[in-house]
Amino acid sequence: MSAESVHHDAHHDAAHHDAVEGQAAAPRSPQAGHSGAHHPALAHHFDSLEQQQEAQSLGMWIFLASELLFFGGLFTVYTVARWAYPEAFAFASGHLVLWLGTLNTVVLLTSSLTMALAVRASQTCELRSLRGYLVLTIVLGVVFLGIKMTEYYLDYREHLIPGPMFSLAGHELPDPLPGGTREFTRHVELYFWIYFTMTGLHALHMIIGIGVLGVLLILARGGRYTTGYFAPIEIAGLYWHFVDIVWIFLFPLLYLIHHGGAA
């Protein structure tokens, strides 16, 4: 309510000011019970910290439901395209570097663990552990992105980036080739479009997540999230886990579908 206070100060009239304040005490009294023990993080439009944390947590869950539908559209496109061109998709999938993808899965799952530990540290009011786990989570997120960039670079070297540079010239094509070489190449290119769109949007979510954790790490310095107010850490954790779960679906759908096919 600082806005109102400023306004009143601007029209300062000592007698009147006091009178208004005096009257204001009466209607305010029902809330006096908890206004005495205000947590500094409590926003003025909430009655209690519990209510605020509940709202923030629910807000993140709903946002994630929305995100689910966003990725859902992509998974639908993937399903339709793979259904139409199973051979091309299996062939293309075999050109990803499986061990790098697997390593990245391990890195990301580990980051989920450190994130969960950060949330726990926040709830148990341990500032040192909280900051340590946040740093670890950020580092693991950056490692994930580094490995992803390496994979993208390898794809670039093999001319697998869709667009005018795309070419399967140096690759051994499967023997009974479904359709002509030109069609097959186009369908492999479609796979790589979907691969780059999906992993690219996933990486974008990772970058946002790392940014959020970075901000929380700085804000946590003064002990802001280790005095019973842990909602920001908790909802950042929810987001982080969600991004991990998306990867858990991306990994098999993109990396593991060439089993028994050409490679």
Partner 1 sequence: MSTVLTPEAAEPKPDAVRPREHYLNVRFGIASWLLTVDHKRIAILYVVGITLMFFVGGAAATIVRVELMTPAGDLVSRDDYNKLFTAHGIIMVFFYLIPAIPAVLGNFVLPMMLGARDLAFPKLNLLSWYIYVAGGVFTIVALLAGGIDTGWTFYTPYSSADSHTHVIVTALGILIVGFSSILTGLNFVVTIHTMRAPGLTWFRLPLFVWSSYATSLIILLGTPVLAITVVLLAVERIWGVGIFDPAIGGDPLLFQHLFWFYSHPAVYIMVLPAMGVVSELVAAFSRKNVFGYHFIAFASIAIAVLGFLVWGHHMFVAGISPYASLIFSLISFLVAIPSAIKVFNWTATLYQGSVSWQTPMLYALGFIGLFTIGGLTGLFLAALAVDLHVSDTYFIVAHFHYIMVGGTVMAYMGGLHYWWPKMTGKMYPEWWGRFSAILIFFGFNLTFFPQFVLGYQGMPRRYHEYVAEFQILNVMSTAGASILAVGYVVPLIYLLWSLGYAKDAGPNPWGATGLEWQTPSPPPTDNFAKTPVVVNPPYTFTAKEAEVVG
CA torsion angle for 197, 200, 204, 207 (degrees, to 10)? Answer: 170
**Minimum Å distance from CB 58 to partner 1?**
5
Q: In whole angstroms, give the CA distance from residue 204 to residue 4.
A: 41
Shortest Cβ distance from residue 146 to partner 1 (Å)?
25
Distance CA 163, CA 1 (A): 55
Minimum separation from the CB atom of position 62 to partner 1 (A): 5
CA-to-CA distance for 16 and 171, rounded, in angstroms?
85
Rg over CA atoms, the chain: 26
- In the complex with partner 1, the residue whose CB is nearer, 9 or 172, is 9
Q: What is the dihedral of CA 219, 221, 222, 223, to 10 degrees?
A: 90
Q: Which two tokens stand for residue 250?
A: 């991306």
d(CA 198, CA 74): 7
Q: How far is the CB of 75 from partner 1 (least distance, A)?
A: 10
CB of 163 to partner 1, least distance (A): 6
Which CB atom, from 63 or from 251, has the smaller least distance to partner 1?
63
Least separation in angstroms between residue 132's CB and partner 1 is 30
**Cβ nearer to partner 1, comparing 85 with 133:** 85
Min separation Cβ 246 and partner 1, Å: 13
Query: Rounded distance, CA 106 to CA 112, Å?
Result: 10
Q: Which is nearer to partner 1, 46 or 135 (CB)?
A: 46
* Tokens describing residue 247: 């990867």
Please, are residues 81 and 194 in contact by the beta-carbon 8 Å criterion? yes
The token pair that represents 82 in the structure block: 């793979």
Rounded CA separation 240/87 (Å)? 34
Q: What residue has token string 């060439």?
A: 258
Nearer to partner 1, 59 or 146 (CB): 59
Binding site for partner 1 (CB under 8 A): 1, 3-5, 7-8, 11, 16, 20-21, 23-24, 26-28, 30-31, 35, 38, 42-47, 51, 54-55, 58-59, 62-63, 65-67, 69-74, 76-77, 80-81, 84-85, 162-163, 183, 186-187, 189-190, 193, 197
Q: Which CB atom, from 141 or from 232, has the smaller least distance to partner 1?
A: 232
